[in-house]
Structure 1
Amino acid sequence: MVPPFLFLLLSFMADKKPRTTTTRRKPASRPTAPVARRGKKKSKERIMPAWLRTILAVCIIAVFSAGFYWFFIRPYAYRWKPCAGQKGYGVCMPCDYEVHGIDISHYQGSIDWVQLTSNKASKFPIHFVFMKATEGGDHGDDTFPFNFDQARRYGFIRGAYHFFSPKTDPNKQADFFIRTVQLTTGDLPPVLDVETIGKSTPHDLKIAVKTWLDRVEAHYGVKPILYTSYKFKSRFLNDSVFNTYPYWIAHYYVDSVKYEGPWHFWQHTDVGNVPGIKEEVDLNVFNGTLEDLRALTLQK
Protein backbone atom coordinates (compact mmCIF):
# COMPACT_ATOMS: atom_id res chain seq x y z
CA MET A 1 0.00 0.00 0.00
CA VAL A 2 1.37 3.49 -0.91
CA PRO A 3 1.72 5.81 2.13
CA PRO A 4 -0.59 8.84 1.98
CA PHE A 5 2.22 11.40 1.85
CA LEU A 6 3.92 9.54 -1.01
CA PHE A 7 0.64 9.27 -2.87
CA LEU A 8 0.14 13.04 -2.60
CA LEU A 9 3.70 13.71 -3.74
CA LEU A 10 3.36 11.47 -6.78
CA SER A 11 0.05 13.10 -7.66
CA PHE A 12 1.61 16.55 -7.36
CA MET A 13 4.52 15.59 -9.60
CA ALA A 14 2.26 14.00 -12.18
CA ASP A 15 0.06 17.10 -12.41
CA LYS A 16 2.94 19.57 -12.59
CA LYS A 17 4.22 20.38 -16.08
CA PRO A 18 8.00 20.15 -16.61
CA ARG A 19 9.90 23.37 -16.99
CA THR A 20 11.98 23.95 -20.12
CA THR A 21 14.65 26.53 -20.80
CA THR A 22 14.06 26.63 -24.54
CA THR A 23 11.01 27.71 -26.39
CA ARG A 24 9.39 25.00 -28.44
CA ARG A 25 9.16 26.02 -32.06
CA LYS A 26 6.68 24.78 -34.54
CA PRO A 27 8.46 22.68 -37.18
CA ALA A 28 8.60 24.46 -40.52
CA SER A 29 7.73 21.32 -42.40
CA ARG A 30 4.61 20.64 -40.35
CA PRO A 31 1.54 21.26 -42.47
CA THR A 32 -1.14 23.58 -41.17
CA ALA A 33 -4.07 21.96 -42.96
CA PRO A 34 -4.44 19.01 -40.56
CA VAL A 35 -4.56 21.44 -37.65
CA ALA A 36 -7.44 23.23 -39.22
CA ARG A 37 -9.21 19.96 -39.93
CA ARG A 38 -8.75 18.82 -36.37
CA GLY A 39 -10.23 22.05 -35.20
CA LYS A 40 -13.26 21.51 -37.39
CA LYS A 41 -13.64 17.96 -36.14
CA LYS A 42 -13.60 19.11 -32.54
CA SER A 43 -16.15 21.77 -33.27
CA LYS A 44 -18.55 19.15 -34.64
CA GLU A 45 -18.38 17.00 -31.48
CA ARG A 46 -21.35 17.57 -29.19
CA ILE A 47 -21.57 16.79 -25.52
CA MET A 48 -24.95 15.54 -24.25
CA PRO A 49 -26.48 18.04 -21.83
CA ALA A 50 -26.59 16.96 -18.20
CA TRP A 51 -30.37 17.32 -18.04
CA LEU A 52 -30.80 14.96 -21.00
CA ARG A 53 -28.51 12.34 -19.43
CA THR A 54 -30.56 12.56 -16.24
CA ILE A 55 -33.82 12.00 -18.11
CA LEU A 56 -32.39 8.98 -19.97
CA ALA A 57 -31.08 7.48 -16.74
CA VAL A 58 -34.45 7.92 -15.04
CA CYS A 59 -36.24 6.31 -18.01
CA ILE A 60 -33.89 3.30 -18.00
CA ILE A 61 -34.34 2.81 -14.26
CA ALA A 62 -38.11 3.09 -14.64
CA VAL A 63 -38.21 0.46 -17.42
CA PHE A 64 -36.07 -2.03 -15.46
CA SER A 65 -38.07 -1.42 -12.28
CA ALA A 66 -41.36 -2.02 -14.08
CA GLY A 67 -40.02 -5.21 -15.66
CA PHE A 68 -38.74 -6.50 -12.33
CA TYR A 69 -42.09 -5.84 -10.67
CA TRP A 70 -44.09 -7.43 -13.48
CA PHE A 71 -42.08 -10.65 -13.71
CA PHE A 72 -40.75 -11.18 -10.17
CA ILE A 73 -43.02 -9.36 -7.69
CA ARG A 74 -46.52 -9.16 -9.17
CA PRO A 75 -47.07 -12.95 -9.55
CA TYR A 76 -46.24 -13.44 -5.85
CA ALA A 77 -47.71 -10.23 -4.40
CA TYR A 78 -50.48 -12.26 -2.78
CA ARG A 79 -47.92 -13.79 -0.42
CA TRP A 80 -47.35 -10.43 1.25
CA LYS A 81 -50.95 -9.32 1.41
CA PRO A 82 -52.51 -9.22 4.88
CA CYS A 83 -54.39 -12.46 5.49
CA ALA A 84 -58.09 -11.66 5.59
CA GLY A 85 -58.97 -15.15 6.79
CA GLN A 86 -57.00 -17.73 8.72
CA LYS A 87 -53.46 -18.93 8.28
CA GLY A 88 -52.51 -22.56 8.05
CA TYR A 89 -49.40 -24.38 6.89
CA GLY A 90 -47.64 -21.03 6.50
CA VAL A 91 -50.11 -19.48 4.03
CA CYS A 92 -53.49 -17.81 3.99
CA MET A 93 -56.00 -20.64 3.64
CA PRO A 94 -59.27 -20.64 1.66
CA CYS A 95 -61.61 -20.88 4.63
CA ASP A 96 -64.78 -21.62 2.66
CA TYR A 97 -63.75 -25.23 2.05
CA GLU A 98 -63.79 -28.03 4.57
CA VAL A 99 -61.82 -30.69 2.66
CA HIS A 100 -58.09 -30.08 2.26
CA GLY A 101 -55.30 -32.10 0.71
CA ILE A 102 -51.79 -32.07 -0.71
CA ASP A 103 -49.97 -33.40 -3.75
CA ILE A 104 -46.44 -34.76 -3.58
CA SER A 105 -43.61 -36.21 -5.65
CA HIS A 106 -39.92 -36.99 -5.20
CA TYR A 107 -39.34 -33.25 -4.74
CA GLN A 108 -40.76 -33.54 -1.21
CA GLY A 109 -38.15 -36.16 -0.27
CA SER A 110 -38.75 -38.57 2.60
CA ILE A 111 -42.11 -38.06 4.32
CA ASP A 112 -42.87 -38.74 7.97
CA TRP A 113 -46.30 -40.30 7.56
CA VAL A 114 -46.90 -40.60 11.29
CA GLN A 115 -46.40 -36.86 11.74
CA LEU A 116 -48.40 -36.11 8.60
CA THR A 117 -51.32 -38.07 10.05
CA SER A 118 -51.42 -35.67 13.01
CA ASN A 119 -52.61 -32.96 10.60
CA LYS A 120 -55.99 -34.69 10.45
CA ALA A 121 -56.72 -33.19 13.87
CA SER A 122 -55.58 -29.67 12.94
CA LYS A 123 -57.69 -26.66 12.01
CA PHE A 124 -57.31 -27.60 8.33
CA PRO A 125 -57.21 -31.40 8.33
CA ILE A 126 -55.60 -33.16 5.38
CA HIS A 127 -57.97 -35.73 3.91
CA PHE A 128 -56.49 -36.56 0.49
CA VAL A 129 -53.04 -36.95 -1.07
CA PHE A 130 -52.26 -36.96 -4.78
CA MET A 131 -48.93 -38.51 -5.78
CA LYS A 132 -46.93 -38.31 -8.98
CA ALA A 133 -46.63 -41.78 -10.47
CA THR A 134 -45.32 -41.41 -14.01
CA GLU A 135 -44.07 -38.96 -16.61
CA GLY A 136 -43.86 -39.40 -20.36
CA GLY A 137 -43.46 -42.92 -21.66
CA ASP A 138 -40.90 -44.41 -19.29
CA HIS A 139 -40.10 -42.15 -16.33
CA GLY A 140 -41.53 -43.27 -13.00
CA ASP A 141 -41.35 -41.36 -9.74
CA ASP A 142 -39.08 -43.29 -7.37
CA THR A 143 -41.07 -42.33 -4.28
CA PHE A 144 -44.47 -43.33 -5.65
CA PRO A 145 -44.69 -47.04 -4.68
CA PHE A 146 -43.80 -46.41 -1.04
CA ASN A 147 -45.87 -43.23 -0.63
CA PHE A 148 -48.88 -44.77 -2.34
CA ASP A 149 -48.86 -47.68 0.11
CA GLN A 150 -48.29 -45.41 3.11
CA ALA A 151 -51.17 -43.12 2.16
CA ARG A 152 -53.58 -46.06 2.26
CA ARG A 153 -52.01 -47.41 5.45
CA TYR A 154 -52.51 -44.12 7.32
CA GLY A 155 -56.07 -43.58 6.16
CA PHE A 156 -55.70 -40.87 3.51
CA ILE A 157 -57.83 -40.79 0.39
CA ARG A 158 -55.15 -41.27 -2.24
CA GLY A 159 -54.75 -40.48 -5.92
CA ALA A 160 -52.09 -40.85 -8.62
CA TYR A 161 -51.23 -38.56 -11.49
CA HIS A 162 -49.31 -38.74 -14.77
CA PHE A 163 -47.28 -35.81 -16.10
CA PHE A 164 -48.07 -35.57 -19.81
CA SER A 165 -45.34 -35.18 -22.44
CA PRO A 166 -46.59 -33.78 -25.79
CA LYS A 167 -43.64 -35.29 -27.67
CA THR A 168 -44.38 -38.89 -26.59
CA ASP A 169 -47.05 -41.14 -28.03
CA PRO A 170 -50.14 -40.79 -25.78
CA ASN A 171 -50.99 -44.50 -25.95
CA LYS A 172 -47.49 -45.36 -24.76
CA GLN A 173 -47.89 -42.90 -21.89
CA ALA A 174 -51.29 -44.30 -20.96
CA ASP A 175 -50.04 -47.89 -20.97
CA PHE A 176 -47.06 -46.92 -18.82
CA PHE A 177 -49.37 -45.32 -16.24
CA ILE A 178 -51.68 -48.37 -16.26
CA ARG A 179 -48.75 -50.74 -15.66
CA THR A 180 -47.49 -48.57 -12.80
CA VAL A 181 -50.68 -47.68 -10.93
CA GLN A 182 -53.08 -50.25 -9.50
CA LEU A 183 -56.10 -48.32 -8.25
CA THR A 184 -58.54 -49.98 -5.89
CA THR A 185 -61.85 -49.16 -4.21
CA GLY A 186 -61.67 -45.85 -2.35
CA ASP A 187 -58.94 -44.36 -4.54
CA LEU A 188 -59.47 -41.17 -6.50
CA PRO A 189 -59.72 -41.40 -10.31
CA PRO A 190 -56.45 -41.26 -12.25
CA VAL A 191 -55.17 -37.77 -13.01
CA LEU A 192 -53.63 -36.36 -16.18
CA ASP A 193 -51.34 -33.38 -15.53
CA VAL A 194 -51.05 -31.20 -18.66
CA GLU A 195 -48.82 -28.14 -18.34
CA THR A 196 -46.88 -27.77 -21.59
CA ILE A 197 -47.64 -27.86 -25.31
CA GLY A 198 -44.05 -28.39 -26.48
CA LYS A 199 -43.75 -28.21 -30.26
CA SER A 200 -47.28 -29.52 -30.82
CA THR A 201 -50.07 -27.45 -32.26
CA PRO A 202 -53.13 -26.86 -30.09
CA HIS A 203 -55.08 -29.18 -32.39
CA ASP A 204 -52.55 -32.01 -32.03
CA LEU A 205 -52.36 -31.49 -28.27
CA LYS A 206 -56.12 -31.87 -27.92
CA ILE A 207 -56.06 -35.12 -29.88
CA ALA A 208 -53.16 -36.51 -27.84
CA VAL A 209 -54.72 -35.57 -24.49
CA LYS A 210 -58.07 -37.06 -25.50
CA THR A 211 -56.32 -40.26 -26.59
CA TRP A 212 -54.71 -40.66 -23.14
CA LEU A 213 -57.96 -39.92 -21.35
CA ASP A 214 -59.92 -42.43 -23.44
CA ARG A 215 -57.33 -45.19 -23.00
CA VAL A 216 -57.12 -44.73 -19.22
CA GLU A 217 -60.90 -44.43 -18.79
CA ALA A 218 -61.41 -47.68 -20.68
CA HIS A 219 -59.02 -49.47 -18.33
CA TYR A 220 -60.17 -48.12 -14.95
CA GLY A 221 -63.82 -47.65 -15.83
CA VAL A 222 -63.95 -44.06 -14.54
CA LYS A 223 -63.40 -40.66 -16.07
CA PRO A 224 -59.91 -39.35 -15.27
CA ILE A 225 -59.32 -36.01 -13.57
CA LEU A 226 -57.80 -33.30 -15.76
CA TYR A 227 -55.19 -31.07 -14.06
CA THR A 228 -54.00 -27.82 -15.61
CA SER A 229 -54.02 -24.09 -14.96
CA TYR A 230 -57.11 -22.16 -15.94
CA LYS A 231 -55.12 -20.08 -18.45
CA PHE A 232 -53.65 -23.17 -20.11
CA LYS A 233 -57.05 -24.84 -20.28
CA SER A 234 -58.70 -21.76 -21.73
CA ARG A 235 -56.00 -21.37 -24.35
CA PHE A 236 -55.14 -24.91 -25.43
CA LEU A 237 -57.89 -27.23 -24.12
CA ASN A 238 -60.86 -24.98 -24.78
CA ASP A 239 -62.97 -27.75 -26.27
CA SER A 240 -66.27 -28.61 -24.61
CA VAL A 241 -65.26 -32.28 -24.56
CA PHE A 242 -62.75 -31.55 -21.81
CA ASN A 243 -65.45 -29.98 -19.64
CA THR A 244 -66.92 -33.45 -19.10
CA TYR A 245 -63.92 -34.49 -16.96
CA PRO A 246 -63.48 -33.62 -13.28
CA TYR A 247 -61.28 -30.53 -13.27
CA TRP A 248 -58.34 -29.90 -10.92
CA ILE A 249 -57.38 -26.27 -11.39
CA ALA A 250 -53.98 -24.79 -10.59
CA HIS A 251 -54.37 -21.14 -9.60
CA TYR A 252 -51.90 -19.67 -7.13
CA TYR A 253 -51.86 -16.59 -4.88
CA VAL A 254 -55.47 -15.51 -5.43
CA ASP A 255 -58.36 -15.09 -3.03
CA SER A 256 -60.73 -17.18 -5.12
CA VAL A 257 -60.87 -19.24 -8.32
CA LYS A 258 -61.26 -17.06 -11.41
CA TYR A 259 -62.31 -19.94 -13.65
CA GLU A 260 -65.97 -19.59 -14.62
CA GLY A 261 -66.68 -23.25 -15.32
CA PRO A 262 -67.18 -26.13 -12.85
CA TRP A 263 -64.16 -27.48 -10.97
CA HIS A 264 -63.53 -30.16 -8.33
CA PHE A 265 -60.07 -29.46 -6.91
CA TRP A 266 -58.15 -26.21 -6.51
CA GLN A 267 -54.38 -26.14 -6.05
CA HIS A 268 -54.12 -22.73 -4.40
CA THR A 269 -50.43 -22.54 -3.44
CA ASP A 270 -47.10 -24.26 -3.97
CA VAL A 271 -45.38 -22.96 -0.81
CA GLY A 272 -47.21 -24.77 1.98
CA ASN A 273 -45.30 -25.99 5.04
CA VAL A 274 -46.83 -29.19 6.35
CA PRO A 275 -45.56 -31.05 9.45
CA GLY A 276 -44.02 -34.31 8.33
CA ILE A 277 -42.69 -32.86 5.05
CA LYS A 278 -39.44 -30.91 5.06
CA GLU A 279 -39.82 -29.32 1.63
CA GLU A 280 -42.53 -26.88 0.54
CA VAL A 281 -45.62 -28.63 -0.75
CA ASP A 282 -48.68 -27.86 -2.90
CA LEU A 283 -51.92 -27.32 -0.97
CA ASN A 284 -55.35 -28.11 -2.39
CA VAL A 285 -59.02 -27.92 -1.50
CA PHE A 286 -61.94 -30.00 -2.71
CA ASN A 287 -65.03 -28.18 -3.92
CA GLY A 288 -67.53 -30.13 -1.87
CA THR A 289 -68.00 -32.11 1.31
CA LEU A 290 -66.02 -35.11 2.49
CA GLU A 291 -68.96 -37.31 1.48
CA ASP A 292 -68.82 -35.80 -2.01
CA LEU A 293 -65.13 -36.59 -2.20
CA ARG A 294 -65.70 -40.21 -1.21
CA ALA A 295 -68.46 -40.45 -3.80
CA LEU A 296 -65.93 -39.40 -6.46
CA THR A 297 -63.62 -42.33 -5.63
CA LEU A 298 -63.64 -45.74 -7.31
CA GLN A 299 -66.50 -47.83 -6.00
CA LYS A 300 -65.46 -51.25 -7.32
Structure 2
Amino acid sequence: MRPIGRFLAVLTLLAMAGCGGGNGRVAGIPQRFSDIDPYDWRGITPAHHPVHGVDVSRYQGAVDWHRVRGSGVSFAFIKATEGGDYADPLFFQHWAGAAQAGIPRGAYHFYYLCRSAVEQAQWFIANVPAERGTLPPVLDVEWNNTSRTCRSRPDPEVIRSEIETFQRIVGARFGQRPVIYTAVDFWRDNELWKLRGEEFWLRSVAGHPSIKYPGQDWSFWQYTGTGVVPGISGEADLNAFAGSEAAWSAWLARRSL
Protein backbone atom coordinates (compact mmCIF):
# COMPACT_ATOMS: atom_id res chain seq x y z
CA MET A 1 0.00 0.00 0.00
CA ARG A 2 3.01 2.29 -0.14
CA PRO A 3 3.79 4.48 -3.22
CA ILE A 4 6.36 3.33 -5.77
CA GLY A 5 8.64 6.01 -7.16
CA ARG A 6 8.95 5.49 -10.87
CA PHE A 7 8.95 8.92 -12.51
CA LEU A 8 8.98 7.77 -16.13
CA ALA A 9 6.46 5.04 -15.43
CA VAL A 10 4.08 7.54 -13.89
CA LEU A 11 4.35 9.76 -16.96
CA THR A 12 3.40 6.77 -19.09
CA LEU A 13 0.52 5.96 -16.75
CA LEU A 14 -0.82 9.50 -16.90
CA ALA A 15 -0.77 9.42 -20.68
CA MET A 16 -2.63 6.11 -20.71
CA ALA A 17 -5.17 7.31 -18.15
CA GLY A 18 -5.77 10.43 -20.18
CA CYS A 19 -6.67 8.23 -23.16
CA GLY A 20 -9.26 6.33 -21.19
CA GLY A 21 -7.37 3.94 -18.89
CA GLY A 22 -6.97 0.19 -19.40
CA ASN A 23 -6.17 -0.94 -22.91
CA GLY A 24 -6.63 -4.70 -22.55
CA ARG A 25 -3.10 -5.47 -23.76
CA VAL A 26 -1.75 -6.77 -20.45
CA ALA A 27 -2.18 -10.53 -20.22
CA GLY A 28 -3.59 -11.96 -17.03
CA ILE A 29 -5.57 -8.97 -15.70
CA PRO A 30 -9.11 -7.88 -16.65
CA GLN A 31 -9.25 -6.00 -19.94
CA ARG A 32 -10.87 -2.98 -18.29
CA PHE A 33 -7.60 -2.26 -16.47
CA SER A 34 -3.94 -2.09 -17.40
CA ASP A 35 -0.57 -2.23 -15.64
CA ILE A 36 2.53 -0.15 -16.29
CA ASP A 37 4.83 -2.78 -14.80
CA PRO A 38 3.01 -6.05 -15.47
CA TYR A 39 3.95 -9.46 -14.16
CA ASP A 40 4.03 -12.38 -16.60
CA TRP A 41 1.01 -14.14 -15.15
CA ARG A 42 0.76 -17.90 -15.57
CA GLY A 43 -1.70 -20.47 -14.26
CA ILE A 44 -4.45 -18.86 -12.17
CA THR A 45 -4.36 -15.14 -12.95
CA PRO A 46 -6.24 -12.07 -11.71
CA ALA A 47 -8.46 -12.31 -14.79
CA HIS A 48 -9.86 -15.60 -13.48
CA HIS A 49 -11.56 -13.60 -10.71
CA PRO A 50 -14.59 -11.52 -11.78
CA VAL A 51 -14.80 -9.00 -8.92
CA HIS A 52 -12.10 -6.33 -8.60
CA GLY A 53 -11.44 -3.25 -6.51
CA VAL A 54 -8.88 -0.64 -5.51
CA ASP A 55 -7.25 0.70 -2.37
CA VAL A 56 -6.18 4.33 -2.07
CA SER A 57 -4.49 6.81 0.23
CA ARG A 58 -3.32 10.40 -0.06
CA TYR A 59 -0.67 9.27 -2.55
CA GLN A 60 -3.35 8.83 -5.23
CA GLY A 61 -4.41 12.46 -4.82
CA ALA A 62 -7.88 13.50 -5.92
CA VAL A 63 -9.87 10.62 -7.41
CA ASP A 64 -12.74 10.82 -9.90
CA TRP A 65 -14.82 8.15 -8.20
CA HIS A 66 -17.57 8.15 -10.83
CA ARG A 67 -14.99 7.24 -13.49
CA VAL A 68 -13.57 4.63 -11.16
CA ARG A 69 -17.03 3.11 -10.75
CA GLY A 70 -17.57 3.25 -14.52
CA SER A 71 -14.39 1.24 -15.07
CA GLY A 72 -15.89 -1.74 -13.30
CA VAL A 73 -14.46 -1.29 -9.81
CA SER A 74 -16.65 -3.09 -7.26
CA PHE A 75 -15.09 -1.98 -3.98
CA ALA A 76 -12.56 0.40 -2.44
CA PHE A 77 -10.49 0.30 0.72
CA ILE A 78 -9.38 3.76 1.86
CA LYS A 79 -6.52 4.60 4.21
CA ALA A 80 -7.78 6.32 7.34
CA THR A 81 -5.06 6.16 9.98
CA GLU A 82 -1.52 5.06 10.79
CA GLY A 83 -0.01 4.38 14.19
CA GLY A 84 -1.51 6.38 17.06
CA ASP A 85 -1.36 9.95 15.79
CA TYR A 86 -1.57 10.10 11.98
CA ALA A 87 -4.76 10.51 9.95
CA ASP A 88 -4.67 10.44 6.15
CA PRO A 89 -5.53 13.99 5.01
CA LEU A 90 -7.61 12.77 2.05
CA PHE A 91 -9.53 10.09 3.91
CA PHE A 92 -12.82 11.94 4.20
CA GLN A 93 -12.60 13.24 0.63
CA HIS A 94 -12.11 9.69 -0.67
CA TRP A 95 -14.69 8.32 1.78
CA ALA A 96 -17.39 10.72 0.59
CA GLY A 97 -16.46 10.45 -3.08
CA ALA A 98 -16.66 6.67 -3.17
CA ALA A 99 -20.02 6.76 -1.41
CA GLN A 100 -21.40 9.32 -3.86
CA ALA A 101 -20.32 7.08 -6.74
CA GLY A 102 -22.03 4.08 -5.17
CA ILE A 103 -18.84 2.10 -4.54
CA PRO A 104 -18.84 -0.08 -1.41
CA ARG A 105 -15.95 1.18 0.70
CA GLY A 106 -14.13 0.42 3.90
CA ALA A 107 -11.38 2.08 5.94
CA TYR A 108 -7.95 0.69 6.75
CA HIS A 109 -5.36 1.29 9.44
CA PHE A 110 -1.62 0.97 8.77
CA TYR A 111 -0.06 -0.64 11.82
CA TYR A 112 2.99 1.00 13.44
CA LEU A 113 5.18 -1.57 15.14
CA CYS A 114 6.39 0.87 17.82
CA ARG A 115 3.01 1.68 19.41
CA SER A 116 0.59 -0.52 21.30
CA ALA A 117 -2.39 -2.17 19.65
CA VAL A 118 -4.72 -0.59 22.22
CA GLU A 119 -3.55 2.92 21.37
CA GLN A 120 -3.80 2.28 17.63
CA ALA A 121 -7.25 0.73 17.87
CA GLN A 122 -8.48 3.74 19.83
CA TRP A 123 -6.98 6.11 17.25
CA PHE A 124 -8.68 4.30 14.38
CA ILE A 125 -12.02 4.33 16.21
CA ALA A 126 -11.67 8.06 16.90
CA ASN A 127 -11.15 8.87 13.22
CA VAL A 128 -13.42 6.50 11.28
CA PRO A 129 -17.22 6.75 11.23
CA ALA A 130 -19.17 3.56 11.84
CA GLU A 131 -21.62 3.95 8.96
CA ARG A 132 -24.18 1.33 8.09
CA GLY A 133 -23.60 -0.48 4.82
CA THR A 134 -19.84 0.08 4.69
CA LEU A 135 -17.25 -2.68 4.37
CA PRO A 136 -15.55 -4.04 7.48
CA PRO A 137 -12.42 -2.25 8.71
CA VAL A 138 -8.99 -3.45 7.64
CA LEU A 139 -5.79 -3.86 9.65
CA ASP A 140 -2.72 -3.47 7.41
CA VAL A 141 0.24 -5.25 9.04
CA GLU A 142 3.56 -5.47 7.19
CA TRP A 143 7.23 -4.76 7.65
CA ASN A 144 8.03 -1.10 7.01
CA ASN A 145 11.72 -1.12 6.21
CA THR A 146 11.64 2.49 5.01
CA SER A 147 10.34 3.91 8.29
CA ARG A 148 12.57 6.64 9.72
CA THR A 149 11.19 6.29 13.23
CA CYS A 150 10.49 2.59 13.79
CA ARG A 151 12.65 -0.34 12.71
CA SER A 152 11.35 -2.62 15.43
CA ARG A 153 10.80 -6.30 14.65
CA PRO A 154 8.93 -7.77 17.62
CA ASP A 155 8.81 -11.51 18.19
CA PRO A 156 6.09 -13.32 16.21
CA GLU A 157 4.20 -14.21 19.40
CA VAL A 158 4.09 -10.52 20.36
CA ILE A 159 2.92 -9.45 16.92
CA ARG A 160 0.14 -12.04 16.83
CA SER A 161 -0.98 -11.04 20.32
CA GLU A 162 -1.10 -7.36 19.36
CA ILE A 163 -3.04 -8.18 16.20
CA GLU A 164 -5.58 -10.08 18.25
CA THR A 165 -5.93 -7.11 20.61
CA PHE A 166 -6.54 -4.69 17.74
CA GLN A 167 -9.02 -7.08 16.18
CA ARG A 168 -10.96 -7.46 19.41
CA ILE A 169 -11.23 -3.74 20.18
CA VAL A 170 -12.04 -2.55 16.67
CA GLY A 171 -14.34 -5.49 15.99
CA ALA A 172 -16.37 -4.69 19.10
CA ARG A 173 -16.76 -1.05 18.04
CA PHE A 174 -17.80 -1.69 14.43
CA GLY A 175 -19.66 -4.95 14.88
CA GLN A 176 -17.43 -6.61 12.30
CA ARG A 177 -13.99 -8.05 12.90
CA PRO A 178 -11.40 -6.36 10.65
CA VAL A 179 -9.95 -8.04 7.58
CA ILE A 180 -6.17 -8.48 7.92
CA TYR A 181 -4.00 -7.24 5.03
CA THR A 182 -0.44 -8.51 4.87
CA ALA A 183 2.45 -9.36 2.57
CA VAL A 184 4.27 -12.63 1.96
CA ASP A 185 7.33 -11.93 4.12
CA PHE A 186 5.35 -10.64 7.10
CA TRP A 187 2.90 -13.55 6.91
CA ARG A 188 5.79 -16.02 6.78
CA ASP A 189 8.04 -14.37 9.39
CA ASN A 190 5.24 -14.07 11.94
CA GLU A 191 3.42 -17.34 11.18
CA LEU A 192 0.14 -15.53 10.69
CA TRP A 193 -1.55 -18.77 9.73
CA LYS A 194 -1.67 -19.38 13.49
CA LEU A 195 -4.29 -16.63 13.81
CA ARG A 196 -7.54 -18.57 13.94
CA GLY A 197 -10.86 -17.27 12.68
CA GLU A 198 -9.39 -14.28 10.83
CA GLU A 199 -10.15 -13.16 7.28
CA PHE A 200 -7.20 -12.22 5.06
CA TRP A 201 -6.40 -9.81 2.26
CA LEU A 202 -3.12 -10.99 0.81
CA ARG A 203 -0.55 -9.14 -1.28
CA SER A 204 1.16 -11.14 -4.01
CA VAL A 205 2.32 -9.33 -7.14
CA ALA A 206 4.26 -12.30 -8.56
CA GLY A 207 2.04 -15.32 -8.24
CA HIS A 208 -1.41 -16.44 -7.13
CA PRO A 209 -2.03 -16.61 -3.36
CA SER A 210 -2.50 -20.36 -3.62
CA ILE A 211 1.21 -20.51 -4.51
CA LYS A 212 2.60 -17.75 -2.29
CA TYR A 213 0.44 -18.55 0.76
CA PRO A 214 -0.04 -22.30 0.50
CA GLY A 215 -3.05 -23.56 2.39
CA GLN A 216 -4.19 -20.12 3.50
CA ASP A 217 -7.80 -19.06 2.93
CA TRP A 218 -8.26 -15.49 1.72
CA SER A 219 -11.00 -13.10 0.62
CA PHE A 220 -9.00 -10.40 -1.19
CA TRP A 221 -5.82 -10.48 -3.25
CA GLN A 222 -3.74 -7.40 -4.06
CA TYR A 223 -2.08 -8.38 -7.34
CA THR A 224 -0.39 -5.16 -8.46
CA GLY A 225 0.63 -1.77 -7.14
CA THR A 226 1.18 -0.31 -10.61
CA GLY A 227 -2.28 -0.62 -12.12
CA VAL A 228 -4.03 1.86 -14.37
CA VAL A 229 -7.62 2.70 -13.47
CA PRO A 230 -9.67 5.43 -15.16
CA GLY A 231 -10.30 8.16 -12.59
CA ILE A 232 -7.06 7.56 -10.66
CA SER A 233 -4.19 9.68 -11.96
CA GLY A 234 -1.34 7.78 -10.33
CA GLU A 235 -0.33 4.18 -9.89
CA ALA A 236 -3.23 2.18 -8.52
CA ASP A 237 -3.36 -0.89 -6.29
CA LEU A 238 -5.62 -3.49 -7.89
CA ASN A 239 -7.32 -6.24 -5.91
CA ALA A 240 -9.46 -9.27 -6.65
CA PHE A 241 -12.18 -10.85 -4.54
CA ALA A 242 -11.77 -14.59 -4.13
CA GLY A 243 -15.20 -15.70 -5.34
CA SER A 244 -17.86 -15.25 -7.98
CA GLU A 245 -20.17 -12.27 -8.37
CA ALA A 246 -22.84 -14.18 -6.46
CA ALA A 247 -20.33 -14.94 -3.70
CA TRP A 248 -19.42 -11.24 -3.60
CA SER A 249 -23.07 -10.29 -3.07
CA ALA A 250 -23.33 -12.85 -0.28
CA TRP A 251 -20.11 -11.58 1.30
CA LEU A 252 -21.41 -8.01 1.24
CA ALA A 253 -24.64 -9.06 2.93
CA ARG A 254 -22.72 -10.92 5.62
CA ARG A 255 -19.80 -8.57 6.24
CA SER A 256 -21.17 -5.06 5.77
CA LEU A 257 -21.55 -2.93 8.87
Superposition TM-score, scaled by structure 1 size: 0.66
Cα distance change, pair 276–243 in 1 and its aligned pair in 2 (3 A): same
The one-letter code matched in structure 2 to 1:298 is: S
The reply on whether 1:109 has 2:61 as its aligned counterpart is yes
Equivalent residue, structure 2, for 1:297: 255
Aligned match for 1:275, one of 205, 223, 230: 230
Rounded Cα–Cα distance in structure 2 between residues aligned with 1:284 and 1:187: 18
Equivalent residue, structure 1, for 2:198: 245
Higher helix share: 1
Measured after TM superposition, the shift of residue 88 of structure 1 is: 4.1
Equivalent residue, structure 1, for 2:49: 97
Deviations 1:266-296 (A, max 9, x none): 0000000111111001000111233133124
Aligned match for 2:207, one of 254, 259, 274: 254
Measured after TM superposition, the shift of residue 105 of structure 1 is: 0.2
Rounded Cα–Cα distance in structure 1 between residues aligned with 2:185 and 2:209: 15
- Say how many residue pairs are matched: 213
Does the Cα contact within 8 Å between 2:28 and 2:47 map onto a contact in 1? no
Deviations 1:158-192 (A, max 9, x none): 01100001111211100010011113222111100
Cα distance change, pair 182–85 in 1 and its aligned pair in 2 (3 A): closer
Rounded Cα–Cα distance in structure 1 between residues aligned with 2:176 and 2:28: 39
267-276 vs 87-96, which deviates more? Answer: 87-96
Aligned match for 1:149, one of 71, 81, 96: 96
* Higher RCO structure, 1 or 2 (CA under 8 Å, sep 6+): 2
Equivalent residue, structure 2, for 1:140: 87
What is the alpha-carbon root mean square deviation over aligned residues?
Answer: 2.1
1:127-276 pair list within 5 angstroms: 127-196=74-143, 198-238=152-192, 240=194, 242-255=195-208, 257-258=210-211, 259=213, 260-276=215-231
Does the Cα contact within 8 Å between 1:133 and 1:140 map onto a contact in 2? yes
Equivalent residue, structure 2, for 1:287: 242
The reply on whether 1:83 has 2:35 as its aligned counterpart is no
210-219 vs 91-100, which deviates more? Answer: 91-100
Does the Cα contact within 8 Å between 1:189 and 1:296 map onto a contact in 2? no
Rounded Cα–Cα distance in structure 2 between residues aligned with 1:256 and 1:168: 30
Gaps of 5+ in 2: 1-25, 39-44, 144-150
Aligned match for 1:118, one of 70, 73, 77: 70
Rounded Cα–Cα distance in structure 1 between residues aligned with 2:221 and 2:239: 5
Deviations 1:90-135 (A, max 9, x none): 236612211110000001011122322321xxxxx21100000000
